[in-house]
Structure 1
Amino acid sequence: MPDAEGLPAQGWAGDDERPARPRLADAPRPPGAPWLPDAALVWTAGAGLLLLLLGALVGRADVALLGVAPAVTAAYAVWVRPRGEVWVDAVLGDAAEGERGNEQLDGEDGDRPGVAAAGGAVVDELCGRYRLLVPPGCTAVRLRAARVEHGSTEVLVAVPGRRVLEIAAPSVRTGPQPLFRIEHQGLGAAGLLVGEVGVEAAELVTVLPHGRGMPALPLPQRLRGLTGQHDSRRPGQGGGLRDVHPFTPGDSVRQVDWKVTARRSPGLTQLYVRRTMALGEAAVVLVLDSRDDVGPDPVTWGGIQSIRPDDATSLDIARQAAMSVAEGYLAVGDRVAVEDLGVRRRTLRPGTGRRHLDRVVQQLAMVAPEGEPSRRVRPPRLSSASLVYVFSTFLDPEAADMARAWRRSGTTVLAVDVLPRVRTGRLDARHWLAYRLVTLERQDRLDELAAAGVEVLHWADVAGTTQALQRAARRSHRRPGTLR
């Protein structure tokens, strides 16, 4: 980065890698508190005065002359010392559009305050913008950007009055995420005076999930409505060819197929019309199991150890999977609803269009575990004409039981396994035995779902999931009477 270099930490707060020392930020100082001399200023002034005094005592003008420059430098630094505070605040939206001096600082993680984007289990770059305002006389600012459970980045930034700094880093997490904690300290002329250490608390932002393009998606057994982009199984207008039938009262003259009529009835004693299928729209329900959020390491499944920040959790994968499915259906005018098994109030009614896609994105981003979930006595009531996607880890039987109940009622159900690829390298004998028991129970649930007629997809297997959806789409798009 231009005008940035690593610095030793002097008076910084929140450094876990260095011995504990007094936190300057913990001692509040009144607004406009005087800037303190740095150790370099003390040594510069002391050396200059010592040389002047020594030259005067021994009668050496050349020795006294050597002390003039350090003494004048120290006096000048004190004379032009800054009067005021250094301000660092987050830039919301495009408020910094047109600011000069924008620079980028590669950190551990960050985001644009307000709304951000990241792609589920896909690494995406997040960016946070911060505006620096310094009083006259302040030439540079020492900055440290850090996040919880992430490393920190410390740089020296030249600030000519004001500057906008961008902090960018890769991230695999979505949903509510804390941004950077910024610690800053102003430097006076030649770095001989330092201001107080200020702290900009990390803001909580919402990282929106990104979907991946799906080549084909299945349809429910029955389509709804008289509008849409799919050929339904009912006769009507606007769809593909259904059959050719003799003209009957009520048929439109526009539907007469004159070529077929000339071939079948050369004497024009009987007219033949082309009958078409009606158009319809699909009703899709995305059911997310937010009761647990686990990572790829089974040691962290108990909740005692935290998940590594560079690991995507099951909810991150579920958000990406649900977003991919929602984008695919809403792009062709179908209706999409969202249901949460963990919190009953998180229900998004069916809708279509671009605005509804924005509502779906916000709904998915806010899905998170909330305390101990209450057990549902019966599954949510869904229309049998709906196509239901259940996104869960299936580590407990509740989501699988509801999927089987919907399938018994005649609803088409797809179970999407969002468990990350498991890493077993850290498991000892006790953890390995527990993991094997949980895995066997989970595999039994998935096998029972498949036996009940539920299509089981493993989202971590990108190629397998795409092929399974394509096969399901080909089966659901076939018309009655065609060979399978």
Structure 2
Amino acid sequence: MTRSAALWHRTRTVVGGVTAGVVLLVLGAVAGRADVAVLGVAPLLAGVWDWRRRPTEPVEVTVARPHGSAGELTAVAEVVTTGPAAVLTVRHGGRAVVQALVRTDGRREVPVVVRTVRTGPQDVAVVDAQGVGPGGASVSEPTDPTSREVLVLPDTRPLRELPLPPRLRGLTGAHESRRPGEGGGLRDVHPLAPGDRLRRIDWRVTARRAPDLHELYVRREHALAEAVAVLVVDSRDDVGPDPLTWRGETAPRSQDVTSLDLARVAAASVAEHLVGAGDRVGLDDLGVHRRPLPPGGGRRQLDRIRHALALTRPEGEPSLRLRPPQLPSGAIVYVFSTFLDDQAAHVAAQWRRGGHRVVGVDVLPTLHDRHLGPREELALQIVRIAREDRLAALADADVEVVTWRDAPEVALAGLARRGRRRAGAAR
């Protein structure tokens, strides 16, 4: 909450009216014209009366109850003043969004809706108010700008299919494994053995192969299992589409989606699809050394992942990892990074050499480079060449790379179908 000093000023309209009234009174007295003097009495009395009725209490404004997700945020701005009205100014991203005169009657709650494409911790809006006295004869000092920080959770986008690890785990799940069990497709027809259930007997095959019933045949199925996935977000970079902001001197514009915004949405979308299929998902961050979120399933796990993603952001100077984070055996790894340096690519290649299936998700936004000068264009071209070489080296290391900004659901579905064609891969 913030409040202004208990100082109210006359408006220019009242000052002009009082001045005109005094001038008319003086002219009427000097010229001996009573009718002219009478014309000055009304504005003079009105100005004095309105000034005597001016409020003396300070104006208070608060921002409360922010909520929402990426796309639209809603909060409530509460204005408290003894005046009949107030001028409310709402700013977002360093620019004025709206300025409105609202009737207060002492207290007024005004809903504030802000549309944003950014995720993570951010201010809903910066609000200040200026009280207006009766008749518009006085205005207060503007309040200090006030705001309320809100954690914007990333939204998700629907995905078709996702690649799975080469080895599935567990005794239940939504994916068909290679080992015998129940729930999957037909594996084979086999003579009845200890442990087989009688309801699995295939009487047609038994009648054809053993008419005298000296041997019974049962239908065996593939078991259903679950996949384990670990989402690894590279929070060391949070760059916007304008390369001039990459040096850190200027922040990206609030209306531009940054690479970390894309990484949050991409990771949340993958997590939602996998959790919906009954798989277990974990989360780790390459930018900080903290305990990762272990793999788990269910709606609560998805909520934990979205909340942790929203809190993910660059924290000081990133430290160099001597070894990649430990992963569960047989897990598939999704690495969300801009790949502007070698560390994320190096860690992904190490995981692939360790036997994990690794999918690199490129989250660099579409660049705006038309306004760059010759030196900036040359520097960006060097960065692009190094980045393309880095992605080519990942492909040589058998790390599958997709670009999130270009129809990721199609590219991920293609990787899922290609994985099913591999020898020994999970179906």
Q: For this structure pair, what is the TM-score category when the shorter chain's length is used for normalisation?
A: over 0.9
Partner of 1:117: 69
**Structure 1 counterpart of 2:79:** 132
Report the counterpart of residue 208 of structure 1 in structure 2: 153
One-letter code aligned to 2:413? Q
Counterpart of 2:134? 189
Scaled by the length of structure 1, the TM-score of the pair is 0.82
**Unmatched runs of 5 consecutive residues or more in structure 1:** 1-24, 93-112, 119-123
Displacement of 1:430: 2.0
Q: Which residue of 2 aligns with 1:160?
A: 105
In structure 2, C-alpha distance between the alignment counterparts of 1:303 and 1:55, rounded to whole Å = 68
Aligned-partner SS, 2:90: strand
> Do 1:340 and 1:346's aligned partners in 2 also have CA atoms closer than 8 Å?
no
Q: 1:270 to 1:466 in 2, by over 3 A?
A: same
2:386 & 2:40 partners in 1: Cα distance?
A: 81
> Measured at CA, do residues 283 and 77 of structure 1 come closer, stay the same or move farther in structure 2, by a change above 3 Å?
same
Q: In structure 1, what is the Cα distance between the partners aligned to 2:167 and 2:7?
A: 75
Measure the CA separation in 2 of the matches of 1:79 and 1:429.
Answer: 65
Q: Please state whether the residue corresponding to 1:171 is helix, strand or coil.
A: coil
Deviation for aligned residue 1:382: 1.2
* CA displacement at 1:133 relative to structure 2: 2.5
SS of residue in 2 equivalent to 1:442: helix
The answer for the alignment partner of 2:411 in structure 1 is 468
1:72 correspondence with 2:45: yes
Contact 2:63 2:146 in 1 (8 A): no
Superposition map of 1:246-395 within 5 A: 246-345=191-290, 347-395=292-340
Deviation by residue 1:371-421 (Cα, 9 ceiling, x = unmatched): 111111111111341010011111111111111111111101001111111
SS in 2 for 1:91: strand
1:421 aligns to what?
A: 366
Shift of 1:148: 4.5
Tell me the SS of whatever aligns to 2:14: helix
Would you say 1:45 and 2:18 are equivalent positions?
yes
Q: Counterpart in 1 of 2:376?
A: 431
Contact 1:260 1:272 in 2 (8 A): yes
* Offset of residue 347 of structure 1: 1.6
Q: Which one of 160, 173, 179 corresponds to residue 118 of structure 2? A: 173
In structure 1, distance between residues paired with 2:148 and 2:37: 55
SS in 2 for 1:199: coil
Shift of 1:309: 2.4
> Is 1:410 matched up with 2:355?
yes
Q: 1:199 aligns with which of 144, 147, 156?
A: 144
Deviation at 1:196, TM superposition (A): 2.4
Whether the aligned pair in 2 keeps the contact of 1:383 and 1:411 (CA below 8 Å) is: no
After superposing the two structures, state which structure 1 stretch, 229-238 or 362-371, moved more.
229-238
In the TM superposition, residue 319 of structure 1 has moved relative to its aligned partner by 0.8
Provide the residue aligned with 1:458 in structure 2: 403
1:28-67 deviation per Cα after TM superposition (whole angstroms, max 9, x unaligned) = 73xxx25332222222223334434544554544323323
What is the distance in 2 between the residues matched to 1:72 and 1:409? 89
Paired amino acid for 1:437: I
1:129 alignment partner AA: V
Moved more, 187-196 or 170-179: 170-179
> Residue type matched to 2:36 in 1?
V
**Paired-residue identity, %:** 50
Does structure 1 conserve the Cα–Cα contact (< 8 Å) formed by 2:93 and 2:253? no
Conserved 8 A contact 2:79-2:129: no
Residue pair 1:89, 1:200 contacting (<8 A) in 2 also: no
* Residue-by-residue CA offset, 1:137-157 (whole Å, 9 max, x unaligned): x22211222234434532222
**Aligned with 1:245: secondary structure?**
strand
Residue ranges of structure 2 left out of the alignment (5+ in a row): none
Distance in 1 separating the partners of 2:31 and 2:375: 80
Of 37, 42, 64, 1:91 maps to 64
CA–CA distance in 2 between the matches of 1:305 and 1:199?
25
Alpha-carbon separation, structure 1, partners of 2:246 and 2:52: 60
In the superposition, relative to structure 1, how do residues 447 and 478 fare at CA in structure 2: closer, same or farther (>3 Å)?
A: closer
Q: Distance in 2 between matches of 1:72 and 1:257?
A: 106
**Deviation (angstroms), 1:158:** 2.4
Instruction: Classify the secondary structure of the residue corresponding to 2:261.
Output: helix
User: Does residue 397 in structure 1 map to residue 342 in structure 2?
Assistant: yes
Q: Deviations over 1:154-188 (max 9, x none)?
A: 22222233322233343221111123222211011
Report if aligned partners of 2:331, 2:356 keep a CA contact under 8 Å in 1. Answer: yes
Native 8 Å contact 1:294 1:314 kept in 2: yes
SS at match of 2:293: strand
- Which 10-residue stretch deviates more, 471-480 or 149-158? 471-480
Determine the C-alpha separation between the residues in 2 that align with 1:479 and 1:417.
24
Cα distance, 1:190–1:346 mapped onto 2, change above 3 Å: farther
1:7 maps to: none
Query: Alpha-carbon deviations, 1:438-484, whole Å to 9, x = none?
Result: 2111111111111121111011112xx222211222244569689x9
Q: Deviations over 1:260-299 (max 9, x none)?
A: 3334333333222121222211111001111111122222
Question: In structure 2, what is the Cα distance between the partners aligned to 1:58 and 1:436?
Answer: 82
304-313 or 319-328, larger mean C-alpha shift: 304-313
- Counterpart CA distance in 2 for 1:127 and 1:79 is 39
TM-score by length of 2: 0.92
Tell me the matched-pair count: 425
Which sits farther off after the overlay, 466-475 or 58-67? 58-67
Query: Separation in 2 of the partners of 1:302 and 1:281?
Result: 43
